[in-house]
Amino acid sequence: MISVIRAQRDANRRFIEIENGVRSGTNVTWQDHMELLQAYEQRGNQQGAQWVFDKLLAPGSAYTNADGFRQLFDYLVRRPSPDVPRAIAALERVTELAPGDWNAWLSFAAVKFMVNDIDGCFAGIEKAIAIDRAQVSRRLWQDPRFQLLRESPDPKVKERFQNLVQQQ
């Protein structure tokens, strides 16, 4: 029983240490932000979680780790209630930090399609194709995220997709 109480005390101390560090911005890492984010959500503190998201995604954020923003994007879209605006912001940061990552551009295009921004979707696809036409074209024909685009009932959208992917 005492070991359980000590473990809980240690976990609470760690939480307070991370929370204070993130709030002050000193001696913290990306992982500290993610731990605090998860702790807030586990404790039902949505306001605290939103604050961490906004801190990481703020313009001028000191974080320049594209992999971290990929991790944040995955976290945002896999939540029980996906946070699409923040997911898009995370992907925008990935594409800024790693503009040569065609997979990030395809993820960006898929999210834009999901929110019915067809032009944004095609802009993302065009960026990805400009990086590696052969690999991206192959992926677009197989990726389930783009099935609705490939089989769109709107002939203009379907034709635009096919023309874009088949251009040489």
What pLDDT score does 136 carry? 92
What pLDDT score does 23 carry? 86
What pLDDT score does 86 carry? 87
- Local confidence band at 25 (pLDDT 50, 70, 90 cut-offs): confident
Tens of pLDDT, residues 28-54: 888 888 899 889 988 899 899 889 888
Q: Could you give the CA distance from residue 104 to residue 72 in angstroms, rounded to a whole number?
A: 13
**Max CA-CA distance within the chain?**
69
Note whether 72 and 56 are within 8 A (CB).
Answer: yes
Residue 168 pLDDT exceeds 60: no
Note whether 85 and 111 are within 8 A (CB).
Answer: no
What pLDDT score does 11 carry? 85
pTM: predicted TM-score of the whole model, two decimal places:
0.76
Query: Could you give the percent of the chain with pLDDT greater than 90?
Result: 24
What pLDDT score does 30 carry? 83
Average pLDDT across the chain, whole number? 87
What pLDDT score does 167 carry? 64
What pLDDT score does 165 carry? 84
Tens of pLDDT, residues 93-140: 888 888 999 999 999 999 999 889 999 999 999 999 999 999 998 999
Q: Is 140 exposed, middle or buried (0-12, 13-18, 19+ CB in 10 A)?
A: buried
Q: Which long-range contacts (C-beta less than 8 Å, at least 24 apart) are formed by 17-25?
A: 22/52, 22/55
Count of Cβ atoms closer than 10 Å to residue 19 Cβ: 17
Note whether 137 and 165 are within 8 A (CB).
Answer: yes
Note whether 128 and 106 are within 8 A (CB).
Answer: yes
Secondary structure letter of residue 132 according to DSSP: -
Q: Could you give the CA distance from residue 92 to residue 128 in angstroms, rounded to a whole number?
A: 14
Q: Could you give the CA distance from residue 36 to residue 42 in angstroms, rounded to a whole number?
A: 10
